[in-house]
Structure 1
Amino acid sequence: MTFYAESYFEQQQQLESMINYAIMVLLLILIVFNVSRYLRHRLHSRNRDLGIIFFLLLLIFTGLQITNLEHDYHQHAQTLQMRPFIQAVAKDHGLRASQVVVNSTTLTDGILVRFRGRDYRVNMSPNGDNYTLTRAHVVDHTVTIRK
C-alpha cells in the first residue's frame, strides 16, 4: 500500500511534461534549420521534406502536450485539496503535517490516513467541509511512503 506525505503534494514533478517541452524545442530548432537550408538550396527537396516531417512531429507532440496539460490541471486541482486536509488532521491531533500520510492523491470519502502508527478511514460530509476519522485495520501491512 502506498501512502503520500504532505511533501509529495508540495514537490510534485512534471518530468513527462518537461521531456515533451524539450522535444518540442528540438523539433522547432530542426524546422528552422531545415527551412534555412531549403531556402539556400531550393533544388534539393530533401530539406523541404525533412522540414515537413519535423513540422508534423511538432504538431503531434503539441497535441500530446495539450492533452497532458489538461490532465495535469485536473489532477492539480484535486491535489490542492489534500494539503489543507493533511494540515487540518495534523492540527486536530496535535501533530506536525509531516507526521500525517494519506493513501490517495485526491480527497474522497473512504481514503486512509495514517499517523502515530495507526490507520484511520476518512468519512467526508457531503459538502466536504468536515470529516470523521474511524479506526481502520489494513490487510497488507507493507507500506511505501512517497515524500
Structure 2
Amino acid sequence: MTFYTDHYLANHQQLNSLINYAVILVLLVLLAFTLLYYFRHQLQTKYRDLGIIIFLLLLIFSGLQVTNLEKSQAQHAQAPQMRPFIQAVARDHHLKPSQVVVNSTTLTDGIIVRFNKQDYRVNFSPSGDNYTLTRTRVVDHHVNIQD
C-alpha cells in the first residue's frame, strides 16, 4: 500500500507528465534528423521507414500524454484540496503535517489516513466541509511512503 506525505503532494505531482514530455521531445528530434537524412538520401528508403516508425511512436506517446492529461486534470483539480486536509488533520491531532500520510493524491471519501502508526478511514459529509475518522485495519501491512 502506498501512502503520500504532504511534501510529496506539494512537489511531485508532475513527474509522469515530465517523463512523457521528455520522450516526446526526443522523438521529435529523432524525427527531424530522420527527415533530414531522408531528404538528403532520397534513394535510400530505410530513412523513410525509420521516419514512419518514429512518427508512429510520436503519435502513440502524444496520445498517451493527452489521455494522461485528461485523467490527471480531475486529479489536479482535487490535489490542492488534499494539502489543507492533511494540515487540518495534523492540527486537530496536535501533529506536524509531515507526520500525517494519506493513501490517495485526491480528496475522496474512503481514503486512509495514517498517523501515530494507526490507520483511519475518512468519511466526508455530503457538503464536504467536515470529516469523520474511523479506526481501521489494513490487510497489507507493507507500506511504501512516497516523500
TM-score by length of 1: 0.79
Aligned residues: percent identity?
Answer: 62
User: Are residues 17 and 57 of structure 1, via their aligned partners in 2, closer, same or farther at CA, if it must alter by over 3 Å?
Assistant: same
Are 1:7 and 2:19 an aligned pair? no
Which structure has the larger Rg over C-alpha atoms?
Answer: 1
Say which SS state the counterpart of residue 126 (structure 1) adopts.
coil
Say which SS state the counterpart of residue 81 (structure 1) adopts.
helix
Q: How does 1:33-52 map to 2 (within 5 A)?
A: 33-52=33-52
1:15 CA drift (Å): 4.3
Partner of 2:141: 142
Contact kept, 8 Å, 1:3 with 1:143, in 2: the verdict is no
1:116 CA drift (Å): 3.0
1:126 CA drift (Å): 0.2
Partner of 1:54: 54
Say which SS state the counterpart of residue 42 (structure 1) adopts.
coil
User: Are residues 90 and 32 of structure 1, via their aligned partners in 2, closer, same or farther at CA, if it must alter by over 3 Å?
Assistant: same
Say which SS state the counterpart of residue 24 (structure 1) adopts.
helix
User: Are residues 32 and 117 of structure 1, via their aligned partners in 2, closer, same or farther at CA, if it must alter by over 3 Å?
Assistant: closer
Write out per-residue CA displacement over residues 24-47 of structure 1, whole angstroms, 9 at most, x where no aligned residue.
Answer: 222222222222222223333332
Alignment RMSD: 2.5
Alignment partners' CA distance in 2, 1:107 and 1:13 = 14
Contact kept, 8 Å, 2:119 with 2:138, in 1: the verdict is no
Between the two proteins, the alignment pairs up a number of residues equal to 146
* Higher mean C-alpha displacement, 106-115 vs 123-132: 106-115
1:83 CA drift (Å): 0.8
TM-score by length of 2: 0.79
The code of the aligned residue for 1:138 comes to R
Listed as ranges, the gaps of 5+ residues in structure 2 are none
Alignment partners' CA distance in 2, 1:2 and 1:24 = 29
The code of the aligned residue for 1:24 comes to I
Listed as ranges, the gaps of 5+ residues in structure 1 are none
